[in-house]
Amino acid sequence: MTTTREEILKRIRSAKGASSPEQAASAYAGIERGYQSSASLARKEILHLFEDRLHDYDANVYHAGASGVGEVVAGILSGRGVHRVLVPDGLPSEWQQGAEFVVDRGFSSAELDGFASVMTTATLGIAETGTIVLQTAPGQGRRAVTLVPDYHLCILPAGRVVETVVEAMRLLESTKNIPTTFFSGPSATADIEMTRIKGVHGPRFVDIVLVGEE
């Protein structure tokens, strides 16, 4: 008896002829990639663009020098009236100032729901789209911690901001098996009369701290 798998593969092969990994590889090499792949702006302009795009998506942007992150964090948290913050393992302790910080110990979904705020760092920022890339890594945690709380404070060293999506994808190439989440601003929907509504299921409020430039 042939399995469904064999039957579908047979249908595919009879539809367009069988192919081999070698044939696929040699044809693949011929695919044109003429699109923009590297930065076209100066460093300063890239950071400005990133900030503009983040504002477009209703995220707030703050700045801090390499040694002053904790102070800036404390200021933001007190301004928002936040007293208790969830953090993943591996987040620099000197950043954790101005509130009670609770390290994620693999909390259940219901326990995560008990946290209104989370603070993490991120792998990358993409200026042209105002996007931040999170991965399952120290300081960033598992995917659920940046999803369930309503407020996300993200600390990103400015040196990790690139201009184009393509640059970002190439930097991520070496860690492409790790769960990776791109986010651009807070959760949003435009399903009701195309009016953009900030925040539906993910964090409704996002603040970014850009840490010192080289």
Partner 1 sequence: MSRIPLDPRTAPPFQAAAKALLGDAQLRKNVRHATDVIQNKRRKLVEEKQDWQLLRESARQIRAHALQHLDVYLDEFERNFTRAGGTVHWARDAAEAQRIVVGLVKESGSSEVIKIKSMTTEEVQLNNALEAAGIHAYETDLAELIIQLGEDQPSHIVVPALHKNRAQIREIFRRTMNLPDLGDKPADLADAARRFLREKFLRVKTAVSGANFLIAETGGICIVESEGNGRMCLTLPDTLISVVGIEKVIPRWQDLEPLIQLLPRSATGERMNPYNSLWSGVHPGDGPRAMHVVLLDNGRTNVLADSEGRETLQCIRCAACQNACPVYRQTGGHAYGSVYAGPIGAILTPQLMHMEHSQTLPYASSLCGACYEVCPVKINIPEVLIHLRNKVVEQNGWYTPESLAMKAVAAAFRSERRFRAAQRLGRIAESPLVKSEKQKFSIVGQKQTGNTGWIGWLPGLLGGWTDTRDLQAMPEETFRDWWEKRGKA
- Restricting to residues 36-55, which ones interact with partner 1 according to CB under 8 A? 36-37, 53
- Restricting to residues 69-128, which ones interact with partner 1 according to CB under 8 A? 106, 109-110, 113, 126, 128
CB atoms within 10 A of CB 156: 21
Task: Provide the 3-class DSSP secondary structure of residue 105.
Answer: coil
Name the β-bridge partners of 141.
Answer: 137
- Restricting to residues 5-34, which ones interact with partner 1 according to CB under 8 A? 5, 7-9, 11-16, 18-21, 23-24, 27-28, 31-34
Minimum gap (Å) between residue 56 Cβ and partner 1: 8
- d(Cα 180, Cα 163) in Å, to the nearest integer? 19
Name the β-bridge partners of 202.
Answer: none
Minimum gap (Å) between residue 180 Cβ and partner 1: 4
CB atoms within 10 A of CB 173: 8
Considering only residues 60, 187, 212, 213, which one is a binding residue for partner 1 as defined by CB under 8 A? Answer: 187
Q: Is 66 in the site for partner 1 (CB under 8 A)?
A: no
- d(Cα 121, Cα 159) in Å, to the nearest integer? 13
Which of the ranges 65-73, 91-99, 117-125, 188-196 carries the binding residues for partner 1, by CB under 8 A?
A: 188-196
- Restricting to residues 128-167, which ones interact with partner 1 according to CB under 8 A? 128-131, 136, 142-144, 147-148, 165-166
* Residue at 126: amino acid letter: I
Q: Are residues 105 and 53 in contact, defined by beta-carbon separation less than 8 angstroms?
A: no
Nearer residue to partner 1 within complex by CB, 59 or 155: 59
Q: Is 67 in the site for partner 1 (CB under 8 A)?
A: no
Helix (H) / strand (E) containing 54: helix 43-56
Minimum gap (Å) between residue 48 Cβ and partner 1: 16
Q: Are residues 121 and 174 in contact, defined by beta-carbon separation less than 8 angstroms?
A: no
Minimum gap (Å) between residue 90 Cβ and partner 1: 13
13's CB contacts (< 8 A; 6+ apart) are 19
Task: Provide the 3-class DSSP secondary structure of residue 63.
Answer: strand
- Restricting to residues 189-208, which ones interact with partner 1 according to CB under 8 A? 189-195, 197, 199-203
